[in-house]
Structure 1
Amino acid sequence: MACCGSGPLRGSLLACGLKVYQLCDNVSQYFFFDELHPTEKANYQFAKLMWDGSPKIVKPYNLKTLFKK
């Protein structure tokens, strides 16, 4: 479910510019702000995976390993 939008999952495209949208009370509890934009929490998770994710996720090296070399 998105934080901002309309429809059953509040993710309808461009709904946040209309008066029919709903906005969540706590953005940090959501992965997506709207249909296209991840929240700060989601971006943090992406950055953490890029920094020290396993080789199954980040190939051939994560950033932490790359900066050590």
Structure 2
Amino acid sequence: MRARVDPEKCMGHGMCEALASEVYEVNEETGYNEMGEFETPDERRAAVLKGMTGCPEQAISILVDAPSAAR
């Protein structure tokens, strides 16, 4: 599964890492999540969603591939 942390929205609360440290990382120097777009195994889906829903700035989104156009 693919997800994205929007660096423009992240305010450094660190809730994503606090709730799902197996998926999310906060830069120790800046205090912000700077992961950008990332991919994680489907087995970690629950953790990705937990961190996403815990973000007070709604800076994390799930990326869904567009379906292929019918030929």
TM-score, length-scaled by structure 2: 0.22
Q: Which structure has the higher relative contact order (CA within 8 Å, separation 6+)?
A: 2
> Relative to total residues, which structure has the larger helix share, 1 or 2?
1
> Relative to total residues, which structure has the larger strand share, 1 or 2?
2
Task: Please tell me whether Structure 1 or Structure 2 has the larger radius of gyration of its CA atoms.
Answer: 1
TM-score, length-scaled by structure 1: 0.23
